[in-house]
Structures are given as C-alpha cells and as structure tokens.
C-alpha cells in the first residue's frame, strides 16, 4: 500500500514538474513607436491551447488602449498600416469580444497605461496559436504577425476595430 502510494505521488510530482516547465519557443520582440524607437518589448509564449502574451511598454499616453494581433509581421511604416488587418480565419471578419457573432482572432483585452506612461500586462488568448494548432490562426505563418497598440480603447463591439483609433505602437512576431 505504501509502495503504491509513493508511486502515485512520484508520478504526480513528475507530471506536475513537466507541466510547469516553460516552453522553449517563446518569441520576444521590440515594441516600436511611430518614430521607430524602442518603447518596450513583447513576449509571446505558446501554450497547449493558445498563447500567453506579455507586454512591457513605456512612453504611451496614460489610459486605456486597444490592442490586437495583426496579420502581417511588418511594422515598417509610421502609421503601422503595413501590419494589415486583425488576425482572422474567417471572412467577413466580425470584431468584438462582446459580440456574439465575433470571429476576429486578433481580439485582445485593452491595455491600461499608468500616469507615468508605462504598462505591463500578461494575458492569455485562446483565439490564436503560434503555429496554427487546433484550427486557430497561426501567428508564425509565412509573413508572421504583429501586435499593435491603438490610441484609444476598444469597445469590443464596433466594427471593424472597436473604435480603437490610430496605431501608436507595433511589435513584429516572427
């Protein structure tokens, strides 16, 4: 009895240790402002059912800001339009975490920026994966993707981007 209890306990301990290990395929990228300067970084880590996103930023306007995964790994123009539209798997794309018909896989919660212009958040998305597992859009497809921070908050329902306004920061995910 003691032997089988120890075997079960060791199996659970080993399983827990394997589960808690960090994936080795995290992708860290510089977060750039419109002038091309680095204003922070993002890290996207694969999980079994999505991605874990960490954002560290400085120099942003205080308050709430919309944040989305965009379809192209390109932050080369000043307005970040080269990042394309939101990541999606179906068309027409219906935006909004509060929209019952939403299919916009790029949707993320808003980012809060403190009075000193800094923000730090870690959040989980089940709408995308790094490599397209489970029929979710892949952030690491042929042209990569980008994380874009917008000037205003996303209202989670207005089409096409929740009223989030201009793109003020961008990070390439490749």
Position 111 scores a pLDDT of 98
Handedness of CA 61, 64, 70, 73 (dihedral sign): positive
In a domain, 104, yes or no: yes
CATH number at residue 105: 2.60.40.200
Q: What percent of the chain has pLDDT over 70?
A: 86
In a domain, 9, yes or no: no
pLDDT band at 14 (very low <50, low <70, confident <90, very high): very low
In a domain, 18, yes or no: no
User: What DSSP element (H or E) covers 17?
Assistant: helix 2-20
Calpha distance 154→150 (Å, rounded): 8
Nearest in space to 130 (alpha carbons), one of 169, 174, 97:
174
In a domain, 13, yes or no: no
In a domain, 14, yes or no: no
Q: What is the pLDDT of residues 75-106, one digit of tens each?
A: 999 999 999 999 998 888 999 999 999 899 99
Calpha distance 37→158 (Å, rounded): 31
6: pLDDT strictly greater than 90: no
Position 45 scores a pLDDT of 97
112: pLDDT strictly greater than 60: yes
pLDDT band at 47 (very low <50, low <70, confident <90, very high): very high
Range of the domain at 166: 23-173
In a domain, 36, yes or no: yes
């Amino acid at each position: 009895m003691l032997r089988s209890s120890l075997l079960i306990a060791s199996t659970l301990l080993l399983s827990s240790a394997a589960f808690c290990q960090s994936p080795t395929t995290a992708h860290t990228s510089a977060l750039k402002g419109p002038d091309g300067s680095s204003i922070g970084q993002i890290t996207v880590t694969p999980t079994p059912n999505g991605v874990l996103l960490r954002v560290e930023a400085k120099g942003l306007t205080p308050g709430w800001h919309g944040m989305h995964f965009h379809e192209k790994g390109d932050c080369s123009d000043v307005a970040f339009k080269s990042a394309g539209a939101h990541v999606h798997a179906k068309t027409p794309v219906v935006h909004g975490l509060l929209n019952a018909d939403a299919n916009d896989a790029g949707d993320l919660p808003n980012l809060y920026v403190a009075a000193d212009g800094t923000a730090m958040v870690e959040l989980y998305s089940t709408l995308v994966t790094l490599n397209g597992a489970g029929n979710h859009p892949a952030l690491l497809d042929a042209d990569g993707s980008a994380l874009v921070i917008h000037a205003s908050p996303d209202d989670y329902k207005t089409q096409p981007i929740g009223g989030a306004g201009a793109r003020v920061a961008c990070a390439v995910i490749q």
